């Protein structure tokens, strides 16, 4: 076959019908194409340079298939602008004017002109599809370039964490970087592992790529990286309002996705850099911690790392670091609050509550450490300690000839996953000779929303052995009357929100009466907490509630103090038959 040539009319002729060609584009702005040889024009199914420019929009971005653009642009920058090399090697796909998809290898070289403009001189080759996807079939030089490319994430095309650190640290130490308002934004998809289990890893990968593209498109000009799994980090410049607005835009884009399976609520943590000399890793940690602090919050999409959060996290770290010492040295104290039999006005039990009296930072209420211990799966240390102390206090009262009544202990849902709750109760009870019917177990209603059935089965086991089970905090969140019907328990404890609402609405009183009667009909004893006034107490008497608890009868105190307080008020103890 006779070889044909194209006369450039300038500097010789080019062989035509080759599977490759040469073009040049500007690196700044919209990456304007300034030259393309005839083979490149032909590769795209065009006949003239003008037709090629019209089809591609005159830009390098218009040459690349949309699905590949983000990956290869990041990869080119990683190898040249942010890297130590002046050349790049990338692979991508193009779509010709006739609609065909072709597979391209791209060898580019970054050059700078004397007028300050920069250009990429690029040689591209049309390759076989199998070769495109198979690295092992490349030349030694190409394979070496690919193997050395550790700067970008293979799935999303974003920078890797280590290369992100490299780029951002260089930016922060530059004179220009010191003058900018810099922010770090950490994005996370809550429960992403469950998403993969439900819809498969292929759909999960698609979701990650979608989120990566939305972040990149929204934070134009920013440095964006995928740190791991579903965790993304952005280093951006701009005002506080601009950054917050862009975070909200990403959130809305994900929530309004056309594919219903990709409508997800994401979380973000934001750290507005206050010291350009800060270490990048620490700045990223601040953003990550801010995001993690709202993982369980359905009302917040993002959180800004500030002095309040810093103090909260410092306190959390203190709790985690010192909980074992606090138990060993008994800085953890058991306080008791009386439970009253409504009809007789006598004390029919106590609830055991914990306080942490620390010699360094003073009193810590449950809200200061319970949630943290649950988050770090350490709550069982406190719960088993409380079991032990309650049984020891019972023994002391018994030996002193005092009246004793049952004591209820709060058990976390996580306790059932971490330890054998029944065995823990037995180990605490048996040495103190405390009967099982004197030790009641309180479990929050939300704990029964356990799809595995673990909590339900373990509660049945414990109840069958003679312990009483209470459902705590009924009505504090999403409550269902099915809870009363589906589970076997002995006491239904209404959350204090009911009586607070009762103060403003008589309809709440009607609802409470209905719940009390329903519980009694099922053989369950209703208890209402939050009793603070005489009016509350009188209402409970009229409405059929059997037990009551609240500051009206006494606040939580250590055992000796609460017994002295109630004695002074003339409240007696119910005799246990």
CB 56 within 8 A of CB 44: yes
Per-residue pLDDT, 470: 95
Task: Say whether both 197 and 50 belong to one domain.
Answer: no
Residue 559: other Cβ atoms inside 10 A: 20
Task: Say whether both 74 and 155 belong to one domain.
Answer: no
Q: Is the pLDDT of residue 488 over 60?
A: yes
Per-residue pLDDT, 84: 57
Secondary structure (DSSP) of 27-56: SSTT-BEEEE-HHHHHHTT-SSHHHHHHHH
Per-residue pLDDT, 493: 93
Per-residue pLDDT, 85: 62
Query: Phi-psi category of 306—alpha, beta or left, where left has phi over 0 and alpha has psi -120 to 50?
Result: beta
Task: For residue 437, count CB atoms less than 10 angstroms from its CB and return exposed for 0-12, middle for 13-18, buried for 19 or more.
Answer: exposed
User: How far from chain centre, in Å, is Cα 81?
Assistant: 34
* Coil/strand/helix, residue 339: strand
More confident residue, 275 or 5: 275
132 within a domain of the structure (yes/no) = no
Task: Say whether both 86 and 184 belong to one domain.
Answer: no
Residue of 146, 165, 46 lying closest to 98 (CA atoms): 46
Of the pLDDT bands very low, low, confident and very high (cuts 50, 70, 90), residue 236 is very high
And the tokens for 23? 């073009």
Q: Please compute Rg for the chain using Cα positions.
A: 34
* Residue 416 vs residues 354, 383, 419, 454, 470: alpha-carbon distances, Å: 19, 11, 6, 7, 16
Residue 160 is classified by DSSP as: P
Domain encompassing residue 158: 139-305
Of the pLDDT bands very low, low, confident and very high (cuts 50, 70, 90), residue 479 is low
Task: Say whether both 351 and 260 belong to one domain.
Answer: no
Residue of 163, 136, 138 lying closest to 149 (CA atoms): 163
Task: Say whether both 116 and 194 belong to one domain.
Answer: no
134 within a domain of the structure (yes/no) = no
- d(Cα 238, Cα 539) in Å, to the nearest integer? 58
Task: Say whether both 185 and 98 belong to one domain.
Answer: no
Per-residue pLDDT, 278: 76
Q: Check which CATH number belongs to the domain holding 38 and give it.
A: 3.30.450.20
CB 25 within 8 A of CB 73: no
Task: Say whether both 115 and 252 belong to one domain.
Answer: no
pLDDT digits (tens, 9 = 90+) for 45-57: 999 999 999 999 9
And the tokens for 406? 């049952």
Question: Are β-strands 407-410 and 347-358 bridged in parallel, bridged antiparallel, or unpaired?
Answer: parallel
More confident residue, 206 or 448: 206
Per-residue pLDDT, 147: 46
**Residue that terminates a domain, selected from 97, 126, 155:** 126
Helices (H), 430-523: 454-464, 482-486, 497-502, 506-521
Of the pLDDT bands very low, low, confident and very high (cuts 50, 70, 90), residue 402 is very high
Q: Is the pLDDT of residue 481 over 80?
A: no
**Residue that terminates a domain, selected from 126, 154, 178:** 126
Q: Residue 292: enclosing H or E segment and its boundaries?
A: helix 280-292
447 within a domain of the structure (yes/no) = yes
Q: Is the pLDDT of residue 148 over 80?
A: no
CB 153 within 8 A of CB 160: yes
**Residue that terminates a domain, selected from 265, 287, 305:** 305
131 within a domain of the structure (yes/no) = no
* Order of strands, sheet of 223-228, starting from the edge strand that comes earlier in the sequence: 223-228, 231-237, 182-188, 267-272, 302-304
Our count of domains for the chain comes to 3
Give residues with Cβ within 8 angstroms of 497, minimum separation 6: 475, 476, 530
Question: Are β-strands 118-127 and 20-26 bridged in parallel, bridged antiparallel, or unpaired?
Answer: antiparallel
Task: For residue 344, count CB atoms less than 10 angstroms from its CB and return exposed for 0-12, middle for 13-18, buried for 19 or more.
Answer: exposed
Task: Say whether both 101 and 210 belong to one domain.
Answer: no
Per-residue pLDDT, 482: 64
Residue 433 is classified by DSSP as: T
0.75 surpassed by pTM? no
- d(Cα 349, Cα 336) in Å, to the nearest integer? 10
Task: Say whether both 329 and 414 belong to one domain.
Answer: yes
Per-residue pLDDT, 483: 62
- d(Cα 425, Cα 463) in Å, to the nearest integer? 12
């Amino acid at each position: 076959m006779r070889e044909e040539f194209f006369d450039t009319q300038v500097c010789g002729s080019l062989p035509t019908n080759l599977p490759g060609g040469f073009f040049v584009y500007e690196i700044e702005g919209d990456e304007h194409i300034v030259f393309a040889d005839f083979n490149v024009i032909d590769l795209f199914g065009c006949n003239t340079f003008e037709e090629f420019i019209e089809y591609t929009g005159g830009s390098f971005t218009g040459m690349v298939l949309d699905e590949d653009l983000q990956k290869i642009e990041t990869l080119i920058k990683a190898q040249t602008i942010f890297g130590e090399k002046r050349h790049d090697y990338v692979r991508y796909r193009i779509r010709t004017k006739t609609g065909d998809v072709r597979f391209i290898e791209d060898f580019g070289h970054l050059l700078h002109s004397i007028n300050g403009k920069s250009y990429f001189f690029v040689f591209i080759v049309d390759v076989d599809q199998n070769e495109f996807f198979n690295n092992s079939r490349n030349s030694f030089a190409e394979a070496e370039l690919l193997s050395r490319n550790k700067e970008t994430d293979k799935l999303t095309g974003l920078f890797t964490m280590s290369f992100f650190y490299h780029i951002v640290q260089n930016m922060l130490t530059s004179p220009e970087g010191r003058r900018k308002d810099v922010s770090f934004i950490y994005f996370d998809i809550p429960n992403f592992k469950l998403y993969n289990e439900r819809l498969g890893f292929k759909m999960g990968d698609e979701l990650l790529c979608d989120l990566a593209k939305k972040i990149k498109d929204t934070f134009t000009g920013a440095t964006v990286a995928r740190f791991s799994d579903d965790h993304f980090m952005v280093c951006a410049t701009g005002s506080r309002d601009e950054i917050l607005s862009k975070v909200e835009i990403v959130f809305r884009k994900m929530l309004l996705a056309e594919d219903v399976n990709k409508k997800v609520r994401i979380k973000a943590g934001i750290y507005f850099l206050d010291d350009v000399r800060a270490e990048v890793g620490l700045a990223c940690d601040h953003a990550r911690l801010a995001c993690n602090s709202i993982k369980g919050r359905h009302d917040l999409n993002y959180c800004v790392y500030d002095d309040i959060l810093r103090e909260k996290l410092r306190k959390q770290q203190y709790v985690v670091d010192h909980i074992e010492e606090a138990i060993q040295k008994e800085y953890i104290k058991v306080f008791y609050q009386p439970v009253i039999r409504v009809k007789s006005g006598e004390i029919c039990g106590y609830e055991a509550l914990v306080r942490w009296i620390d010699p360094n930072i003073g009193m810590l209420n449950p809200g200061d450490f319970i949630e943290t211990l649950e988050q770090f799966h350490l709550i069982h240390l406190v719960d088993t300690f409380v079991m032990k102390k309650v049984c020891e206090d019972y023994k002391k009262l018994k030996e002193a000839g005092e009246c004793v009544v049952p004591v209820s202990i709060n058990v976390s849902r996580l306790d059932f996953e971490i330890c054998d709750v029944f065995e823990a109760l037995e180990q605490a009870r048996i040495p103190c000779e405390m009967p099982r019917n004197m030790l009641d177990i309180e479990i929050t209603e939300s704990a029964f929303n356990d799809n595995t059935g673990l909590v339900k089965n373990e509660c049945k086991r414990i109840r069958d052995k003679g312990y009483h089970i209470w459902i705590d905090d009924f009505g504090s969140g999403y409550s269902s009357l099915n809870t009363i019907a589906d589970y076997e328990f002995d006491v239904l404890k209404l959350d204090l929100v009911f009586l607070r609402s009762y103060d403003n609405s008589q309809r709440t009183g009607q609802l409470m009466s209905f719940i009390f009667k329903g519980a009694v009909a099922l053989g369950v004893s209703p208890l209402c907490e939050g009793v603070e006034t005489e009016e509350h107490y009188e209402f409970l008497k009229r409405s059929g509630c059997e037990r009551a608890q609240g500051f009206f009868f006494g606040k939580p105190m250590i055992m000796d103090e609460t017994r002295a307080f109630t004695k002074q008020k003339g409240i007696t103890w119910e005799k246990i038959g």
